[in-house]
Structure 1
Amino acid sequence: MRTEDCFVLGTIIRQHGYKGDVVAKIDTDRPEHYDKLGSVLLESQGGLIPFFLDHSQLLKKDQLLLRFEGVKSAKEADAFMGKELFLPLNMLPKLTGKSFYYHEIIGFKAYDGESLIGEVAEVIERPGQPVLLIKDGVSEILIPAVDDFIDSIDRSSSSLYLQLPEGLIDVYR
């Protein structure tokens, strides 16, 4: 499996006990969705390798306790410290309404009301708020990805409808 086909669930941050259990700090709005995992992918030698789990349990909202199959001691668990946990994109919970995953809207046509602005090329993560990078063939337009600006998403037609303040697009053209 390629990293492009996966998302990072979190990072293994510490051991738990002396029998090889580890704790991963996870970054998700829906931690309960990942409570009972059967396997995860870890990066090794430039690729992703599947590792099966004997046990997976949510400790806190942002921490997941994992017991890797065949790992029986703290010494064996040392090899996992600092590793990122990957899962296939199809394991992400489906979103509806105005909620979206950043990777999901790449390539969507962006509209301000009825007017086509361009195509979403990237979502740039910035402190405070993410920013949509929209390309119209000539210009690159940066739009804050905030709820107030997002009117709706039509996944069937790959369209993102925005309600932008007057003059915002003109700044880039």
Structure 2
Amino acid sequence: MYIHIGKIVASFGTNGELIIEHGMGKVDLKKATALFVEPTKGSYLPYFIERIKHKSDTEMYVKLEEVNTREAVKPLTQKKVWLTETDFRKIAAKNTAISLLKYEVFDGKTLIGTVEEVIEQPHQVLLQVPFGAEDALLPLHQETLVNIDHTQKKIYLNLPDGLLDIYR
């Protein structure tokens, strides 16, 4: 099982460094076994990390083994970056929104589904959850959040009336 953490947005310098945009905060990816790049949908290629330097809370400079030139970065640019679920759980801080991936979401006591993606916006976080034939985007902020149980990996929400009806 792989968890999407971001994407490669650009090359940096001439020695094969790249910039990864992510939503994990200042985490130490050196604990990861490898980063997986998705060149085509559903295909994951492992790249081992040589070094990492944080640019900001949402971007980092990464040097991957065997990626040694600006030209070698070009085919990787705009590709999604993934971690194994095991590495992700070791690395993701409990207080970051992305740590909610794979949590079950409930509206009251009714199970809606499992978080497949976390979308961070300036005033709220949206949880993307498969619901029926579509993916529902559920707002996560102080007015909808009831509780997060990290032990059970469950999120309890109180969603506005009719919100789920638009996805049926």
How many pairs align? 151
Whether 1:119 aligns to 2:115 is: no
Whether 1:63 aligns to 2:55 is: no
Aligned to 1:95: 94
Q: Deviations over 1:87-141 (max 9, x none)?
A: 1223143637xx96143124xx543xxxx4x212256969764368798xxxxx9
Distance 1:160 1:48, change over 3 A: closer
CA apart distance, 1:65: 1.0
Aligned to 2:29: 34
* Counterparts of 1:84 and 1:134, CA distance in 2: 20
Q: Please give the secondary structure, in 2, of the residue aligned with 1:31.
A: coil
Q: Please give the secondary structure, in 1, of the residue aligned with 2:66.
A: coil
Q: Deviations over 1:10-53 (max 9, x none)?
A: 2111111111111112223x223436655200113541111112
Contact 1:38–1:56 (CA<8 Å) still a contact in 2? no
Contact 1:151–1:163 (CA<8 Å) still a contact in 2? yes
TM-score by length of 1: 0.63
Identity of aligned residues (%): 15
Q: Which has the higher contact order (CA 8 A, sep 6+)?
A: 2
- The RMSD of aligned alpha carbons is 3.9
Q: Please give the secondary structure, in 2, of the residue aligned with 1:32.
A: coil
